[in-house]
């Protein structure tokens, strides 16, 4: 649709139902969850396996046709994978994060759509029946930003504040405070150390103000929508506003 025609009261109802579904069904799938979790499209999130942990103010999004998955798997040696996601992180549609060792995501990390992060090969090179194959932990430092379609391979550490360009394959460590891209991803340039970095945590320094802002934005987006126009666009969409 060209825009959202739902009346404001319907938006409030949908938001409430989404929170109930998240708290009732999704949150219990995690071993620990901080405060301020928000999942847009929780029915499009698959959480599988133990030892998956979320920090505070984690925002997750899914989209129709772009399911997201957080998955831990036995390591074949009596142990199990683990995923730790820090506070104030943004995880967007199509994310696949699969662990048989340990994936650590720092605070304020932003992950764009269709990113794949894995700490295992999932099959041995010579014995294709042996699973999960070779494993090695993955670490994303604080304030890392992964562009759309990035793939992060086992054993990789990406240093704090670094940005990985869209479509890159990260097969080796990336230092802190750089922009990297390519296949395999390589440093392209260093970040300007003289410029301050604004991190996502800034949004949540005043939680009450943040909540009021979100309510206001929803209201402004829907306040002019009527039930009649909403029903009309449901039955017969048009280019008219």
Predicted confidence (pLDDT) per residue in 118-176, tens digit? 999 999 999 998 899 999 999 999 999 999 999 999 999 999 999 999 999 999 999 99
pLDDT score at 232: 87
| One-character DSSP codes across 39-85 | EESGGGEEEESS-EEE-TT-EEE-BTTB-EEEEE-B-SSS-B--EEE
Is pLDDT of 1 > 90? Answer: no
CA atoms within 13 A on the CB side of 38: 13
Q: Cis peptide leading into 184, omega within 30 of 0?
A: yes
Q: Which pLDDT tens digit goes with each residue over 50-64? A: 999 999 999 999 998
CATH topology of domain 36-198: UDP N-Acetylglucosamine Acyltransferase; domain 1 (2.160.10)
pLDDT average, residue stretch 60-78: 94
Rg over CA atoms, the chain: 20
pLDDT average, residue stretch 90-96: 97
Is pLDDT of 79 > 70? Answer: yes
Q: 241 with 3: CB under 8 angstroms?
A: yes
pLDDT score at 170: 98
Q: Which pLDDT tens digit goes with each residue over 190-222? A: 999 999 999 999 999 888 888 888 888 888 988
**What's the pLDDT band for 241 if we cut at 50, 70, 90?**
low
pLDDT score at 3: 79
What is the spatial distance between Cα 184 and Cα 233, in angstroms, rounded to a whole number?
Answer: 47
Quickly tell me which residue has 């938001």 as its tokens: 15
The active-site residue, picked from 53, 123, 218, 221, is 123
Q: What is the mean pLDDT of the chain?
A: 94
Residues of 207-220 as b/e, b for ≥16 C-beta within 10 angstroms? eeeeeeeeeeeeee
Is pLDDT of 238 > 80? Answer: no
SS (H, E, C) 75-114: CCCCCECCEEECCCCEECCCCEEEECCCEEECCCCEECCC
What is the spatial distance between Cα 48 and Cα 171, in angstroms, rounded to a whole number?
Answer: 25
Q: Quick one: tokens of 3?
A: 């825009």
Q: 159 with 179: CB under 8 angstroms?
A: no
If one compares 2 and 158, the residue with the highest pLDDT of the two is 158
pLDDT average, residue stretch 6-25: 93
pLDDT score at 223: 87
Quickly tell me which residue has 């992950």 as its tokens: 111
Q: Measured over all CA atoms, what is the biggest interatomic distance in the chain, rounded to whole angstroms?
A: 64
| Percent of the chain whose pLDDT exceeds 90 | 78
| Percent of the chain whose pLDDT exceeds 70 | 98
Domain ranges of the chain: 1-30+206-241, 36-198
- Which helix (H) or strand (E) segment holds residue 146: the answer is strand 145-146
Establish whether 222 is a catalytic residue.
Answer: no
Helix (H, G, I), strand (E, B) or coil at 150: coil
């Amino acid at each position: 649709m060209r825009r959202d025609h739902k009346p404001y009261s319907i938006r409030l109802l949908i938001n409430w139902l989404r929170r109930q579904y998240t708290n009732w069904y999704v949150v219990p799938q995690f071993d620990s969850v901080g405060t301020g979790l928000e999942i847009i499209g929780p029915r499009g999130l698959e959480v599988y396996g133990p030892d998956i942990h979320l920090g505070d103010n984690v925002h997750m999004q899914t989209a129709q046709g772009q399911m997201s998955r957080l998955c831990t798997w036995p390591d074949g040696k009596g142990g199990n994978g683990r995923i730790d996601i820090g506070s104030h992180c943004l995880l967007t549609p199509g994310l696949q994060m699969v662990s048989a060792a340990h994936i650590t995501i720092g605070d304020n990390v932003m992950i764009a759509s269709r990113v794949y992060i894995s700490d295992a090969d999932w099959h041995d090179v010579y014995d294709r029946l042996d699973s999960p194959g070779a494993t090695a932990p993955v670490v994303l430092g604080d304030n890392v930003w992964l562009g759309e379609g990035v793939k992060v391979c086992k054993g990789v550490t990406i240093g704090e504040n670094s940005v990985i360009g869209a479509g890159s394959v990260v097969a080796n460590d990336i230092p802190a405070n750089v922009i990297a891209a390519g296949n395999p991803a390589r440093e392209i340039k260093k970040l300007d150390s003289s410029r301050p970095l604004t991190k996502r945590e800034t949004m949540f320094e005043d939680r009450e103000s943040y909540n009021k802002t979100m309510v206001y934005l929803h209201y402004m987006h829907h306040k002019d929508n009527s039930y009649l126009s909403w029903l009309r666009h449901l039955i017969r969409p048009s280019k008219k506003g």
